[in-house]
Structure formats: C-alpha cells, structure tokens
Amino acid sequence: MQYRYSGNAANQGLWRFCINRKCHAHTLTVAFWDATRAFMLLSVLGCFAGVVLGVTASKRPRSRRVRTGGIALLLSGFLALLALAIYTGMTVNFFGKRYIDWRFSWSYILGWIGIILALAAGILQLCAYQRSASEPAPASVSDS
C-alpha cells in the first residue's frame, strides 16, 4: 500500500519511502505502520492457508478441510480489511490536514480488490462445504 504526492517524485509505502527514485527504509517506528504490516502479513498467511486447504480438499468436498479453508479465507479478508481501515484512517487524517495534493497509489486499490476476492472465496468455499454436507451420502451398491 502506498500513496504519492501528485506532481512530485515522492511516494511512501509500508516498508520504505522513495524520493526522486532513491528509496530508503523507514527509520521511525510508528504503531499504526506496525499494526498495518502485521495485519497484512497475517492476512497473506491466512489466504495462503485457505487456498492450500481448499485445493488439497478439492477431491473430497465433504472434507472438513474445505470448511477450514473457507474460514481461513474469511479471516484473511477481515484481517486485510482491518489493516486497510487503519492505514486509510491514519493516512487521510495525517496527510489530509498537511498536504493538499496527494493520492493513494495502485497497491492500495489492489488491497481493496484482494479483500473482496478473499471474502468471496471464503464465502463460496463455505457454501460448497454446506451444500456437500447437506446432500445425502450415495447409496452403496450391494451384490445380490
């Protein structure tokens, strides 16, 4: 996630800031940066776990892995939502008062798209589990 000063060669993200294409790591540790980083990293890990669980259980839709993967994806979406809410609130509050001409960049938009996709994937995975769990088990064929 990053923002840019419009008409200027400066931008800043979660991990570093760049001025005139020279990038440097953040030297100040601010709590909202750390919270945003932590929530985004947990979101990425949860999304990865949800996808892996869903793919490994694709052969058996009645598996509890499908449900667990769906829950992991929903949790991932909510963690990313929390991270972006903190980031948006603090950034708008800080830069809206100090600078007139700034805007969020492409990675911020990708973050919101990722939230929508993670939540949708989690909901679809839970619906697939619920649908397969409510269907009766296939009757076994006996040799008579």
Q: Over the stretch 11-43, which tens digit does the pLDDT of each residue have?
A: 777 777 777 778 877 777 778 788 888 999 999
Claim: this prediction has a pTM higher than 0.95: no
CATH number at residue 34: 1.20.140.150
List, in sequence order, every residue forming a beta bridge with 104; answer none if it has no partner: 3
Q: Is residue 94 part of a domain?
A: yes
Q: Is residue 68 part of a domain?
A: yes
Q: Over the stretch 41-52, which tens digit does the pLDDT of each residue have?
A: 999 999 999 999
Q: Is residue 16 part of a domain?
A: no
What total number of domains does the chain contain?
1
How many CA atoms lie less than 13 Å away from 91 in the CB half-sphere?
Answer: 22
Domain coverage including residue 127: 30-133
Q: Is residue 81 part of a domain?
A: yes
- Hey, which bits of 40-119 come out as E strands? 102-104
Q: Is residue 18 part of a domain?
A: no
Q: Rounded distance, CA 122 to CA 125, Å?
A: 5
Backbone φ, ψ for residue 103 (5° rounding): -155, 160
Q: Rounded distance, CA 33 to CA 90, Å?
A: 9
